[in-house]
Amino acid sequence: MKKYLDDILSSIREMISYDSSLSSPEEGMPFGKGAADCLQAFLALARKMGFAANNYDNYAGEVLFGEGEEFAILCHLDVVPAGEGWTHPPFGGEIEGGRLYGRGTMDDKGPAVICLYCLKALKDAGFVPRKKIKLIVGCNEESGWACIEHYVRCAHMPETGFSPDADFPVIYAEKGIFHFKAAFPVENAPFTALYGGERANMVCAYAAAEGVADTAGCENFGLTAEGNKLIARGTAAHASTPQEGVNALGKLLAFFAEKNEGVRRAHDILFADSLVLRTLSDETGALTMSPDVAEYRDGVLYITTDVRYPATMRQEDVSARLERAGVSFAPLHCQAPLFNDRQGALVQTLLSVYREKTGDAAAPIAIGGGTYARALKNGAGFGPQFPGEPSTIHCADEYIELSHIETLAEIYRAAIERLTR
């Protein structure tokens, strides 16, 4: 794959240049112009390589290689908003210190481009797959999966495949995902406005309250007072791993919890975990809960929370506890867990490729993240995050190591060849 590395790098930088985060829809562009432009550029690149490619109404696209039983490689081109705290332009594709910086370098534009070049390398080498490979790229993975729903209506989803949008060595299980919006009445609110967060699946990095009469002691909670406005700053992270970030909203609510009963109830349930939801666990890990978006309106504090529950459990195990506690909430987004056979052919083939290319004898793992793999009857998450490496997915200064690009290309090329020959 060495001879393709310069082109891979150039193409990743091109894809990064599009701000493909969810924006207002336009005619023929359901997720906004940035996402549509990025999809069209990706498919144009594939056609230039000689592949057939289809665009399904700017919801999703596919690149086709081979004939026979279908095999999927599922990627996405949309990204979460850039957010604050960047020291490199989030859509600039800057290279510094052996790293390529930009939103989407790891999640998931970088891996999508690498997999496309793996198809080209196999094609150039004369490889003829015995399956029809579908490299499917969606534009709404981060905000609801409408792209996949549309693809299923317009095309045929394979039963088997992998998604390069997770962790190595290979993912055999993914926790269930449950986003809900809870409403907490706040009487005599000690603020006139409170807001924070950008996406349910991003740890809240900024929150603020306005019209605060008493800001005394705010510094003890890590807050900054600017007149009658309180500002909380945290550190963004993927909501499936909230422990890797610092939730700004939690700081803000902790301060007001000492002054108001309504806020205290919200803080106790969502941050202090008074309902002991985080004690739910199984072999795929414990439940995680990340309250990430807040808005105060008409005497009610609305908080959107991201929950990742153990893969052998049900969403009802979570919602029942909220209902028993009298919490008023509306489900926003639900995805059932993924739970695969660790010893199955797909997982074991991907695992053997990873071990051969890295020398790492790690075992299959479960994660809290949700990938397109769960859109398949037999799917698995497979990289690009290496064990022990810092993750910058959904964080400021997201980057991909230049040295990892070649390794990823070697891994994905071998995996695709082995699974489709």
| Active-site annotation, residues | 78, 141
Residues 290, 203: contact at Cβ < 8 Å?
yes
Q: Which long-range contacts (CB under 8 A, 24 or more apart) does 312-318 make?
A: 312/282, 312/283, 312/284, 312/337, 312/339, 313/176, 313/280, 313/282, 313/337, 314/176, 315/176, 315/178, 317/280, 318/178, 318/277, 318/280, 318/287
Number of Cβ within a 10 Å radius of residue 362: 16
**CA Rg, the chain, in Å?**
22
- One DSSP character per residue, 103-150 reads TTTTTTHHHHHHHHHHHHHHHHTT---SEEEEEEEES-GGGT-HHHHH
The rounded distance, in Å, linking the Cα atoms of 421 and 417 is 6
Residues 190, 256: contact at Cβ < 8 Å?
yes
Helix 5-16 / helix 33-48 crossing angle, nearest 10 deg: 160
For the chain, the maximum distance between any two Cα atoms, rounded to a whole number of angstroms, is 72
The rounded distance, in Å, linking the Cα atoms of 323 and 346 is 39
Number of Cβ within a 10 Å radius of residue 331: 11
Whole-angstrom distance between the N-terminal and C-terminal Cα of the chain? 19
The rounded distance, in Å, linking the Cα atoms of 77 and 11 is 13
Smallest CA-to-CA distance from 67 within 126, 127, 129, 132 is with 132
Residues 171, 390: contact at Cβ < 8 Å?
no
Number of Cβ within a 10 Å radius of residue 109: 29
The rounded distance, in Å, linking the Cα atoms of 60 and 243 is 32
The rounded distance, in Å, linking the Cα atoms of 186 and 390 is 39
Peptide bond into 242 cis (omega under 30): no
- One DSSP character per residue, 63-117 reads EEE--SEEEEEEEE--B----S--SS-TTT--EETTEEESTTTTTTHHHHHHHHH
